[in-house]
Structure 1
Amino acid sequence: MTLLHRKHAPAGEDPRPAAPPSGATARLRDLGLGVRFAAAGGREGWIRTLLTAVGVGLGVALLLVASSVPHMLDQRDGRERARTETRHSESPDASAAASDTTVLRIDAGTEYRGRSVAGFLMRPDGAHPVTPPGVAGFPGPDEMVVSPALKELLNSSEGNLLRERLPYRITGTITDAGLVSPNELRFYAGSGTLTPAAGGHRLTAYGDNDPPAPMSPLLVVLIIIISVVLLVPVAIFIATAVRFGGDRRDRRLAALRLVGADIRMTRWIAAGEALFGALLGLLIGLAIFLTGRQFAGDFVVWDVSAYPSDLVPAAWPAGIVAVAVPVSAVLVTLAAMRSVVVEPLGVVRNGRSRRRRLWWRLPLPVAGLAVFALTGKVDANTEAVDPYPIAAGAVLTLVGLALLLPWLVEASVNRLRGGPVPWQLAIRRLQLNSGAASRAVSGVTVAVAGAVALQMLFAAMNDDFNKITGQDPTRAQFYTSSERVSGDAAARTIKAFRATKGVDEVIGTVEVYVTKPGKYTEDEVPPTTSLTVGDCATLREIARIDSCRDGDTFVVHPRDKKMADWVDKAARKGEEVEISSYTDQQKGVRPMLWTLPADARTVLTRRDPLGKENWGIMATTGAVDASTLPGATTVAQIRIDQHVADAAEYVWNTAARLDPGMRVVTLTSVARDRQYASIQTGLQAGATATLILIAASMLVSQLEQLRERKRLLSVLVAFGTRRVTLGWSVLWQTAVPVAVGLTVAVAGGLGLGATLTWMIAKKVSDWWLFLPMVGAGAALILLVTLVSLPPLWRMMRPDGLRTE
């Protein structure tokens, strides 16, 4: 028997032992002890900590990217405004404002295989012309400076057709200051022949100082909901990630109870372990963000990319993330530990615990919907939108759905009985502990519910921001116009388009304005109409003409009687009309006189593929020599063969060869508002990132659950259970919570979407928009399950029975 002798205290000291710390000091000590356990927990402990840290790090990285969006948008907008031109006075005579620094410029932008290529043709008026931001030197004739992305495209085999369209010598590149994003395709080309008569306008400087146009209140609501829908799943995922590895941690805490730790101490030690993983996750998330930031220009999502300098997190959101992540790790762990009985001889977690309560979960989504009702309606006439109640209502609704999911999963699986062996294994596992499975799919549930609500909101706003143009892309896909009509340019233009590869039909005309001769006071408006020259086939496309021969002339009436009377005043049969351009009138140039034949027939107009009704005088090429018309415009509406590869590119190449400043418009039946389109593009980019994060989180969670069941899986295989059976059980174990989660997501998303639609004073246009979202969610689950199968096979080996 060993005798323990108490050592006597030195004189003057209290021989009694020091009292243990209490209150905040004790809690900090326990947290520190938990951090030490996590850091020195051996291989198994570090695996669990790293799983938690990686999960938190992914969420933190995405939150840092989200907090960088406002700065990125400000920088992009600033560069866009800096390169916007400042034009000269509104004088119609462009040469009047010429100086040593002014520049004649015309838009020469194009499209290439679905991508916009912005560009301008420029000619200096003097020796010191102003240059756009990012351009070191003004390009000379037949030279151009290009963006790095365009230079790379032109130097690749993919840019062969584009090189034909831009036959200029590259003399420099546009720096970052002159580009909105790294992947932007842009060029500035020099010209030695550009004139105002050819469409060139004069500018004196660059920079738009006008305040930006206010955003529609409906778009403000849309942006708020998008932000909530994208960020709430990330926050839920972070809260889920800090609970990875709970079973193994609880068994270690039982050992602490055995050596004298009380229940409160074990809870705070567990919180300390989660705190260490969260802090490590913050560092990993920061490292991922800083590393990925350097390659931001290489990632293009929905044609959106950014410079590394654009991705700077705002101070207050970044501070909230830095504080909220560790605090939430501690609070979530403390809340989770309340349902765990940690005793010196074991942990009662895998036993049947009390059933989850519904009474405190259901009011949360109901309160969220009530907030929207109290906020009131928002329409296009609303002066200001308060974002806080809208954001609060959306957060309460989505978080409430996430809290409802565990109760619904538990209530569903408790009623399931029988079935094949894989099904019974999966259901029994869920009946014992459905919390981990519910948490794994909560992010998908919230993301799908938010996506359904957003789709309903977008559909309700569609008519406000997508206008029917009246254009008919089935009759023509391109509209071109050029002011180069000298000589036989008009005939050559139409002939060149008709000879272009892939072109089926060309509606080509030469258009000019005619005026009734006479003397008019300043207050009088002389009767004016248009003169359109084309062949018979062309004129039949824009007017209701039965019979036509070369040399015929027609007076075309619109449907409106008043406008038809106006046409008759300007175009009197058998009388002369004046043909002159606006610039010639300002210079006092004598107009060209032409007599409208007395036998001209009167016909009705017909809507052309552009959706425009043409009226006035229409003449065949035998009646009017188009090359003699002053200030005319050559117009072509082109239909291509959709089965010919790159037919559109051949049309663009022909247009650039005929006139680099030729205006080319792609016809579309619906025109989208630019702000609305940019927001939708941002949503697509954000949703893609969120789905990737959710997939990663589910994979990490699935691997953690499998790791916790490694020994159980090995025992089942050792007793003869087939691997295929276990594989199917894992699939069913994931599929059941997913089915419940998607049901909750659809119901919650439809409810939230209907409420938001009511709030903006719209009606629900389609109740079946949830189908693609449900399909995407189910596909995501299937993908994660398939990826987790190889680790599952490895965990079924007999060495999983080994213990220490």
Structure 2
Amino acid sequence: MGLRFAFAGGREGWSRALLTAVGVGLGVSLLLLTAAVPSALSARDAREEARSDWSYDSRTEPKKGDDTVLVVRADSQFREQSVRGRLVEPEGARAPLPPGVKEYPRAGGMVVSPHLKELLSSDAGKLLRERLPYDVVGTIGRQGIVGSQELSYYATVPDMKAKYPDSNVMRLAKFGNPQTKQATEAPDPILVLLTLIVIVVLLMPVGVFISAAVRMGGERRDKRLAALRLVGSDGQMTRRIAAGEALAGALLGLVFGAVFFLIGRQLAGSAELMEVSVQSEDLTPSPLLTLLVIVAVPAAAIGVTLFTLRGVVIEPLGVVRTARPSRRRLWWRLLLPVAGAGLLYPMLGQGRTGGDFNQYLVVGGVILLLIGVTALLPWLVETTVARLGSGPVAWQLAVRRLQLSSGNAARMVNGVAVAVAGAIALQMLFAGVGGAYTSDTGKDPTRAEMEVQVPSYTQITAYTAALDKTDGVGRAVGLASTYMGDEKYFKSEDGSGGYIRVTLGDCASLKEVAVLASCKDGDVFRVPGGADGYESDSVSVAPDASGTGGDDVGMLKAGNTIYYSTDDEGKTLSRWTVPAGVRTVRAVDDPTGDRRFGILMTPKAMPKGIADTSFGSVFVTLDDSVPDAVERARNTAAALNPTHEPMMWHETETSDEYAKIRTGLLVGATCVLGLIGASLLVSQLEQLRERRKLLSSLVAFGTRRRTLSLSVLWQTAVPIGLGLILATGIGVALGCLLLGMTGSRIGFDWAGILTMTGIAAGVVLAVTLLSLPPLLRLLRPDGLRTE
């Protein structure tokens, strides 16, 4: 009978069932998407593994044959997107093909991912087209790209070993099977804890919204149930009919959820969040998790309905809910957060060295603390609104409505409060442990914003000149390094003997590493120091008070002979005689934060062959006033050597695992935020529908529309304000517990806390504004018409 009332009870029945189904469906779709994430990530990893082209051991490289291919990495970055590039040279007709590639393009051609093809054909990809001077002759299939929005290409380049002798050109007989895999480290307990908390915090609001959705239209439903009592049904039968009616909305919600899931799945295949994209086909929830959702949602609908009717007396002549309800009790509501804190307490101070955190206690404790928000909020709203006094008409209408049905108002904002409490706790946790996963690079972005690695000083002049001429580059300086020493250093297997570092560069570049009063091409300088470094064994000079060293210059005494290598193996040695007049200068930090002690040489002073075996970098400062200055510099570097990706400098760097968890949180929070807004809008529309006749009566008696609109705004603002206050308290308490568990110093990120509460308040305000148009349509006297 409950099912029939939902679908055959006229406009009132199916409209309530439809709203319930939309609310439940939004939650179900997010649960299904969440259940599909593991399969999507596994599919991404499998495709990444299948196209692997990295050999960890050059000794196992196959011999050249008609079944081998040469591969070298040519990765790049375009604005905020990574570009995966591979230069290939098939060595025979049976050369292995990477996944998704049907055949290798001809020399000078490339096959690209669909999204890269789209970007290259658009105006936005003009600069990237300049960087990839190859003809697009095909598209990579879905088996060869990890995500739908990935930028990836394979370009055929002949004579790669000759063109890129200093690059790691690898020979492969097959893709996807590296000869030696890197050993996996034990998972970091704190990162595991972060992952658990993220999952719980993101899924808890979904459950709260689903439980709220199945309770829509409760007051009108109870009045219909009173009519059933009048025609002969007893209390238990009435409750079963109510459960059946809720079950109908939940079952329809499963259908809506499946539809929303399919729509979201399709949209996810064409979207990218935080540089993460998936293919639509990969978003397939496991059968077990799908079955769990199908069973749990209707069961929850029945359970919630029976639980809410426990204190409602439905009699033939009415519902005893209209009388003054009994005050909500506080003591049992406090037990939930206290029990949650009790579960987390044994793990306080455990940190990273105390072993793995007990996952069951962590999940249970966090769930109880967050459920505590939903238990305490109705009491807080009821207690507060009971003490609210007089004011403008709009305020009085809102307060009186809240006093009569504070439970409905609390249910509407419960999900928001839970989401905010969890977000605040995570914000504190990430801020507290972030320092352990963020390290200082030592680099100074104010002196250089980009570093381009150069194989040797021989090529630095060309690199520096080309980058200097690039539009958007302010300045480019090149420095290279190598070593000199005695014969023992080069001939001994253990590297013993005297040696010294040599820095090569022109005068302008050497001024980046030392204080030079004067400098001309042909000068040689000595930089003493490095008491804790490798130069101290060779340069036996201790710096004096001025920091420029004493009189004993060690191996750098004029007329001494020092050796240097002219091949990469260090077997062919040449001699260099220390000239007279080597000046001693003081070192300063170079752009990387390093101090280069040893010898500084200008080009004319460099002995023959030393530049060929050095290794160097060009440090680039950019002109921010030029649009896309970074991309222009990258284009110049790629034209010189596409296999050496320029590095952008940052003051700090973050652990990859930590960054992935944080990205997952941001992606998940975006989805939950969308659910919050949509569910709140559905709840608001349902409440307006239930009060249609009341609102029409007030308009008929002359109440201004502005007054009624403000009253609706106050009815939302008061509960959300109380919910945010409670959520902030619970969230801060949970954050302190989690920080105590990780052994981190407890601190309060008030900027982050205010941001989280502000976002939630903004979402509620937006929902309220969106509900005003339907409210204005309801504010008409003809809403009193009935049949």
Q: What count of residue pairs does the alignment treat as equivalent?
A: 765
Question: Do the aligned partners of 2:530 and 2:536 also contact (CA within 8 Å) in 1?
Answer: no
* 2:113 aligned to which of 147, 166, 170: 147
Q: How much has 1:349 moved relative to structure 2? A: 2.5
Q: What amino acid sits opposite 1:546 in the alignment?
A: A
Q: Which residue of 1 aligns with 2:746?
A: 764
What CA distance in whole angstroms lies between the structure 1 residues aligned with 2:357 and 2:102? 44
> For each residue in 1:741-787, what CA deviation from the matched residue of structure 2 results, as whole angstroms up to 9, or x when unmatched?
00000000000000011011111233413110010011011001000
Helix, strand or coil at the partner of 1:183: coil
Indicate yes or no: 2:298 matched with 1:326: yes
Distance of aligned partners of 1:95 and 1:38 in 2 relative to their CA distance in 1, 3 Å threshold:
closer
What CA distance in whole angstroms lies between the structure 1 residues aligned with 2:529 and 2:95? 47
Q: Which residue of 1 aligns with 2:19?
A: 51
Q: Which moved more, 1:34-43 or 1:530-539?
A: 530-539
Q: How much has 1:86 moved relative to structure 2? A: 4.0
Which runs of structure 2 are paired with 1:39-118 in the superposition (5 Å)?
39-87=7-55, 89-90=57-58, 98-118=64-84
Q: How much has 1:140 moved relative to structure 2? A: 4.1
Q: How much has 1:559 moved relative to structure 2? A: 3.5
* 1:481 aligned to which of 444, 453, 468: 453
Distance of aligned partners of 1:457 and 1:306 in 2 relative to their CA distance in 1, 3 Å threshold:
same
Distance of aligned partners of 1:312 and 1:214 in 2 relative to their CA distance in 1, 3 Å threshold:
farther
Q: How much has 1:662 moved relative to structure 2? A: 2.6
Q: What amino acid sits opposite 2:765 in the alignment?
A: L
Q: Which residue of 1 aligns with 2:545?
A: none
Q: Which residue of 2 aligns with 1:755?
A: 737
Q: What amino acid sits opposite 2:681 in the alignment?
A: L
Indicate yes or no: 2:236 matched with 1:251: no
Helix, strand or coil at the partner of 1:338: helix
Q: Which residue of 2 aligns with 1:507?
A: 477
Q: Which moved more, 1:362-371 or 1:607-616?
A: 607-616
Question: Do the aligned partners of 1:399 and 1:446 also contact (CA within 8 Å) in 2?
Answer: yes
Question: Do the aligned partners of 1:466 and 1:671 also contact (CA within 8 Å) in 2?
Answer: yes
Question: Do the aligned partners of 1:120 and 1:188 also contact (CA within 8 Å) in 2?
Answer: yes
Helix, strand or coil at the partner of 1:699: helix
* 2:761 aligned to which of 775, 778, 795: 778
Q: Which moved more, 1:543-552 or 1:650-659?
A: 543-552
Which runs of structure 2 are paired with 1:165-314 in the superposition (5 Å)?
165-195=131-161, 197-204=165-172, 205-206=174-175, 207-208=177-178, 210=182, 212-314=184-286
What CA distance in whole angstroms lies between the structure 1 residues aligned with 2:61 and 2:416? 62
Q: How much has 1:548 moved relative to structure 2? A: 1.8
Helix, strand or coil at the partner of 2:129: helix
Indicate yes or no: 2:723 matched with 1:741: yes
What CA distance in whole angstroms lies between the structure 2 residues aligned with 1:274 and 1:95? 65
What CA distance in whole angstroms lies between the structure 1 residues aligned with 2:36 and 2:731? 28
Which runs of structure 2 are paired with 1:224-623 in the superposition (5 Å)?
224-375=196-347, 377-483=349-455, 489-517=459-487, 520-560=491-531, 563-568=534-539, 573-580=558-565, 583-585=568-570, 590-623=572-605
What CA distance in whole angstroms lies between the structure 2 residues aligned with 1:652 and 1:322? 51
The percent of aligned pairs where both chains have the same amino acid is 47
Q: What amino acid sits opposite 2:169 in the alignment?
A: H
Distance of aligned partners of 1:715 and 1:282 in 2 relative to their CA distance in 1, 3 Å threshold:
same
Question: Do the aligned partners of 2:457 and 2:504 also contact (CA within 8 Å) in 1?
Answer: no
Question: Do the aligned partners of 1:555 and 1:603 also contact (CA within 8 Å) in 2?
Answer: yes
Question: Do the aligned partners of 2:33 and 2:283 also contact (CA within 8 Å) in 1?
Answer: yes
Indicate yes or no: 2:781 matched with 1:798: yes
Helix, strand or coil at the partner of 2:331: coil
Distance of aligned partners of 1:788 and 1:626 in 2 relative to their CA distance in 1, 3 Å threshold:
farther
Helix, strand or coil at the partner of 1:511: strand
What CA distance in whole angstroms lies between the structure 2 residues aligned with 1:721 and 1:40? 36
What CA distance in whole angstroms lies between the structure 2 residues aligned with 1:88 and 1:226? 34
What CA distance in whole angstroms lies between the structure 1 residues aligned with 2:740 and 2:635? 49
Q: Which moved more, 1:126-135 or 1:38-47?
A: 126-135
> For each residue in 1:629-659, what CA deviation from the matched residue of structure 2 results, as whole angstroms up to 9, or x when unmatched?
2233341011112222101011101101112
- How does the TM-score come out when normalised to structure 1? 0.91
What CA distance in whole angstroms lies between the structure 2 residues aligned with 1:382 and 1:176? 44
What CA distance in whole angstroms lies between the structure 2 residues aligned with 1:508 and 1:289? 54
Q: Which moved more, 1:416-425 or 1:334-343?
A: 334-343
Distance of aligned partners of 1:608 and 1:268 in 2 relative to their CA distance in 1, 3 Å threshold:
same
> For each residue in 1:524-570, what CA deviation from the matched residue of structure 2 results, as whole angstroms up to 9, or x when unmatched?
53434443222212111122333222221112234325533334367
Question: Do the aligned partners of 1:129 and 1:138 also contact (CA within 8 Å) in 2?
Answer: no
What CA distance in whole angstroms lies between the structure 2 residues aligned with 1:638 and 1:434? 63
Helix, strand or coil at the partner of 1:261: coil
Distance of aligned partners of 1:379 and 1:178 in 2 relative to their CA distance in 1, 3 Å threshold:
farther
> For each residue in 1:582-636, what CA deviation from the matched residue of structure 2 results, as whole angstroms up to 9, or x when unmatched?
5354xx5x34443332322233332222223323321122323798722333410
Q: What amino acid sits opposite 1:601 in the alignment?
A: R
Question: Do the aligned partners of 2:564 and 2:610 also contact (CA within 8 Å) in 1?
Answer: no
Question: Do the aligned partners of 1:64 and 1:318 also contact (CA within 8 Å) in 2?
Answer: yes
Which runs of structure 2 are paired with 1:629-708 in the superposition (5 Å)?
629-708=611-690
Q: Which moved more, 1:606-615 or 1:638-647?
A: 606-615
Q: What amino acid sits opposite 1:536 in the alignment?
A: C
Q: How much has 1:45 moved relative to structure 2? A: 0.9
Q: Which residue of 1 aligns with 2:99?
A: 133
Helix, strand or coil at the partner of 2:160: coil
> For each residue in 1:218-263, what CA deviation from the matched residue of structure 2 results, as whole angstroms up to 9, or x when unmatched?
1100010000100010000000000011122112112111111112
What CA distance in whole angstroms lies between the structure 2 residues aligned with 1:673 and 1:663? 20
Q: How much has 1:215 moved relative to structure 2? A: 2.5
Q: What amino acid sits opposite 1:42 in the alignment?
A: G
Q: What amino acid sits opposite 1:296 in the alignment?
A: A
What CA distance in whole angstroms lies between the structure 2 residues aligned with 1:653 and 1:612? 28
Question: Do the aligned partners of 1:510 and 1:626 also contact (CA within 8 Å) in 2?
Answer: no
Where does the alignment leave 5 or more consecutive residues of structure 2 unmatched? 540-553
Q: How much has 1:464 moved relative to structure 2? A: 1.4
Q: How much has 1:573 moved relative to structure 2? A: 4.4
Distance of aligned partners of 1:465 and 1:562 in 2 relative to their CA distance in 1, 3 Å threshold:
closer
Q: What amino acid sits opposite 2:252 in the alignment?
A: L
Distance of aligned partners of 1:696 and 1:493 in 2 relative to their CA distance in 1, 3 Å threshold:
same
Helix, strand or coil at the partner of 1:476: coil
Helix, strand or coil at the partner of 2:82: strand
Distance of aligned partners of 1:564 and 1:578 in 2 relative to their CA distance in 1, 3 Å threshold:
closer
Helix, strand or coil at the partner of 1:541: coil
